[in-house]
Structures are given as structure tokens and as C-alpha cells.
Amino acid sequence: MKPAERNLAAWLGHMEALNPASIDLGLERVREVGERMDVLKPAPVSVIVAGTNGKGSTCVCLEQILLACGRRTGCTLSPHLDSFKERVRINGIEADNATLCAAFEAVEAARGDLALTYFEYSCLATLFCFKAAAVDVAILEIGLGGRLDAFNIVDADVAVVTSIGLDHMAYLGDSCEAIGAEKAGVFRVGQHIALGAGMPNSVLTAAARATRSPMRWGEGVRLLAEHSGAGTPTWQVEVGGRRFSGIPSGALPVENCALATAAACAVDAALGKDGVDELTVRQGWSAARLPGRLEAFTADGRQWLVDVAHNPLGAAFLRTEIPRRYPQRAVVAVFGNLQDKDSGAVCQAIQGLVRHWVLVDTIGPRGLSARNLADRCGGVECSVAGDLDAGMALARSLAKPSDVILAFGSFAVAQAVRSKLTMTDVDVQQTDEAMPQTDDRAVAERKSRLIRQPCPAIKKTSPKASR
């Protein structure tokens, strides 16, 4: 089939077939094609966001703050839940089929005989879309690691590292220090750098080499709870010498929104403009949404939460965040994970929150049966459902109307549950839960947990990660 005759589905099939390796780390191929396409500088200012968890939330919140400032934005998200189009956002809107197909044609014309991986191909198409749209700011979410991720062909003006935990160890190393060093590979000399809580020395040292004043969590970036009496609690964010007060909680984690605020201030500095203020921060936090990140649904009289947390660090976040959003409510968990994930540590991280576990299968080359998952999560009170439909039905029967059903684990599980919850023959409402009033002691305890969260000891495996 000629390139001009391919539709989006045909292009995606072509990308998957081009290079049999799902991961083939290295920047030589993608940089060479990027130079041919002239996309290594996709916008006047570029922001690159790395980290184990929290990247997507940070990217989307940053996008929304910048849009409120009147900036034209390009934003990447990876992986997608329902459609490839989620990966390429221009001014907050997913790219349409025609835009993506034109970008794929440009990549195909430039690559020659170089066998790009799926992610390299999509990376170059994304950069092409942003440059063609003449965006002011390109927001690039790292997919795997940082140093050798395809988006690292861009010398970004601003870099954010959200968190460091144990994941993708076959590629990034088996310690937080080693993983941090890989993610710090996105740093450049003279960059504006914002860092989340609990950074290992490898990240702190690399940031200090790149810039004299990285915005470290608790120093250059501070998040404080405010007391407004009744109603929705508000937050104060301090970035350098700037203070933004009275910011209500939105749908996404406040820590990631605070990092996004710091990155927005850095974009201002890089552009030589002054657009970020309390109003734009408030609008950005309020507008930011991301599927599969503590996404709330009410279905058949039950409160559901859907989340893509699949590693211990993500589970630890759920352990503190769900009681904050849903105090005094018991949790029934529907959980399915991939074979190369440390599911035992995931269960340990969240176990004190979950009243009963319902375990489901995941399929594919990296799939894990519910029965094998039960062996890894030994000691928890669980039911082995296997089939997802059966698991969801069992969770409904086990949950009281006052309980919360948490469906989480692999992206495939989150996507399938979302799809089933939003079927037209099911009574579903997507909800935005107001955050309860939070006192300073609770915030201090939560921040302390995040900062001191250790990398748990785990058995080394030989996983096959996917990009």
C-alpha cells in the first residue's frame, strides 16, 4: 500500500511491523531521522518530563496552565488507554486522523531504510505535528527512562523529574540510584529543572551539575495546605520567590500539579514573559483531567475508581490519596498486573487500605494469570476471579454502597474496566469528588511518607517491557 493510501489503522500496523523489537534503546536512528525532518527543535520552548510515576498528570496540568496563559501547546502522553490519538495533543485537543497520517507520511519519507521502533516512529510524528502547528511550548513525556528515550533527542529548555521508584529494572537498573541516573539523562547545562519529592543522590547531583539552582521539592517548590473554614480545601504553591494562594484541588494529584506550576514558571522565564499568576494556576489545576488516574465513576450504585498504578510507588500513592478523597470508606480492589511487575510489593504497599482483593487475569506475552498473581500476593484476603467480567461482578457483590471499588494495575486492566463502566447500557456517572478539608498535620505526614518512601527490595527478574 502506498503511504498516501494508508489510513490511521494501516499506519499503526506499519509502525508495529517495521522493527520487531518493542524496545531497541539508543538515539542514533531517531536523531538521524529527526535531523532530516528538522524537528529537533519542535517549539520555541520545550519541556521534558521524566519520572517513574506522575508524568502524565504533570504534563496535562502544565498544558492547562499554559493554555490559560494564552500559550499554544503541544503535549505528549504515553501510553494511551483507548486511542493512539491520546498521545498527541495540540492546544489540549487530541490530534485528528488526517494530522497524524500526514505526520506519518513525513516520517516515512525521511527514514529511508532505517527500521524505527514503534515509539521512535510515533515520537518523530509527534514532533512533526507540534512544529507544523507552530506551538509555543512542546511538552514531552518520557516513555522509558530518560537518557535513551526517543524524546531525549530534543534539548529541552525545562526538565521535570516527578518521582523515582523501582520499575523497568531490566532496562534501567535495580536500584533507585541507577534508575535516577537514567532519568537524569534528560538534563542539559543551563536548563530550568524541577524535582519531585524523594530524589536519590544520582538525580540531585546531576541537577546540580546542570544548573546552580534546581527547584527541589521542599525548597524551590513548596506545597502548603490552607485553611478556608468550610468547603473545598485550598493550597498555596511557592516557586522560588513567587507565591500562588487559594488554589483549589482538582482531579489530579496536588503534588504533580505543584510541579506543573513550577514548570510553568520556568516556561515563563524561558520565554521572557510573565503570564503565570494565581488565576491561570487555578484555571489549570481545575481543567486538568487524565483518564485512568484515580478516575471516578458511579455505576449501579457503587463508587468506582480506575487507576493505572502498577508498581509499588504508585500503590503507595493510592494508599495515602484514597483516604484523603474518600475518608472512612472501605475499599474492595480489582487487581490485575503484568508478569514483569513486582505485584507482591504492590499489594504490600496498599494492603492496609484494601478490605478484600479480587484478582483478574492479564493476557498477552507479558500476561499473568489471577492464580499466579495470588501466589505473588500471598497473605492477602482475596478471591481469584480470573475473567474481568466475573471479577467486576464479584467486586460489586462484595462492596457495600458506602464502599469504594478500586480497579487498578496494568494499563490494559484500567482500559478494559473504563470501557465496561462507560457502556451505554450501564447506569454510569463520571464524578469529580470534592477534596475533604485537610489539616497541616495530615499534609506533613503525607509529604513525609512521599519523601521517605523507600525503594523496596525485590527479586531481580528478566522482564520484557513494552513501549
> Could you tell me the CATH number of the domain that includes residue 46?
3.40.1190.10
Higher pLDDT, 85 or 452: 85
Model confidence at 71: pLDDT above 70: yes
Neighbours of 362 (CB within 10 A): 22
**Cis preceding linkage at 323, omega within 30:** no
Residue whose C-alpha cell reads 511550548 in the numeric block: 137
Number of domains in the chain: 2
Same domain, 309 and 213: no
- Of 287, 308, 343, which marks where a domain is finished? 287
Which residues, including other chains, have CB under 8 Å from residue 154's CB and lie 6 or more apart? 40, 41, 42, 46, 48, 127, 138, 140
> Could you tell me the CATH number of the domain that includes residue 368?
3.90.190.20
Same domain, 269 and 369: no
Mean pLDDT of 210-230: 88
Same domain, 237 and 329: no
Same domain, 262 and 322: no
Burial group, residue 79, by CB count within 10 angstroms (0-12, 13-18, 19+): middle
Are 402 and 394 in contact by the 8 Å Cβ rule? The answer is no
Does residue 112 belong to any structural domain of this protein?
yes
In sign, the C-alpha dihedral spanning 112, 118, 122, 124 is negative
Measure the N-to-C terminal CA separation of the chain; round to a whole number of Å. 26
Same domain, 130 and 154: yes
Q: Which helix (H) or strand (E) holds 209?
A: helix 201-210
Report residue 431's pLDDT band, with 50, 70 and 90 as the boundaries.
Answer: low
Same domain, 279 and 424: no
Report residue 39's pLDDT band, with 50, 70 and 90 as the boundaries.
Answer: very high
Report residue 230's pLDDT band, with 50, 70 and 90 as the boundaries.
Answer: low
- Long-range Cβ contacts of 283-286 (<8 Å, 24+ apart): 283/64, 283/65, 283/68, 284/61, 284/62, 284/64, 284/65, 284/66, 284/67, 284/68, 284/257, 284/260, 285/61, 285/64, 285/65, 285/247, 285/248, 285/249, 285/250, 285/252, 285/257, 286/248, 286/250
The three cell numbers of residue 307 are 487507576
pLDDT of residue 459: 34
CA-based angle 252:256:231, to the nearest 5? 50
Same domain, 383 and 326: yes
**Average model confidence (pLDDT) across the chain:** 88
Residue 421 is part of which domain span?
295-435
Residue whose C-alpha cell reads 539552582 in the numeric block: 213
Nearest residue to 311 via CA among 158, 431, 184, 465: 465
Give the tens place of pLDDT for each residue, 262-319: 999 999 999 999 999 999 999 999 999 999 988 999 998 999 999 999 999 889 999 9
Same domain, 239 and 366: no
Does residue 457 belong to any structural domain of this protein?
no
Are 408 and 414 in contact by the 8 Å Cβ rule? The answer is yes
Mean pLDDT of 179-187: 96
Same domain, 311 and 262: no
- Of 222, 253, 287, which marks where a domain is finished? 287
Instruction: Look at residue 18 and give its three-state secondary structure.
Output: helix
Q: Which amino acid is present at 352?
A: G
Same domain, 207 and 161: yes
Give the tens place of pLDDT for each residue, 133-178: 999 999 999 988 889 999 999 999 999 999 998 887 787 888 999 9
- Enter the DSSP assignment of 192: E
Does residue 450 belong to any structural domain of this protein?
no
Same domain, 213 and 282: yes
Model confidence at 453: pLDDT above 60: no
Does residue 442 belong to any structural domain of this protein?
no
Question: In the chain, count of helices (H) and strands (E)?
Answer: 16, 17
Mean pLDDT of 63-70: 98
Strand ranges for 43-134 from DSSP E: 45-50, 73-76, 88-90, 93-94
Give the tens place of pLDDT for each residue, 358-391: 999 998 888 999 999 999 998 788 999 999 999 9
- Of 252, 287, 322, which marks where a domain is finished? 287
Neighbours of 214 (CB within 10 A): 24
Same domain, 182 and 318: no
Does residue 459 belong to any structural domain of this protein?
no
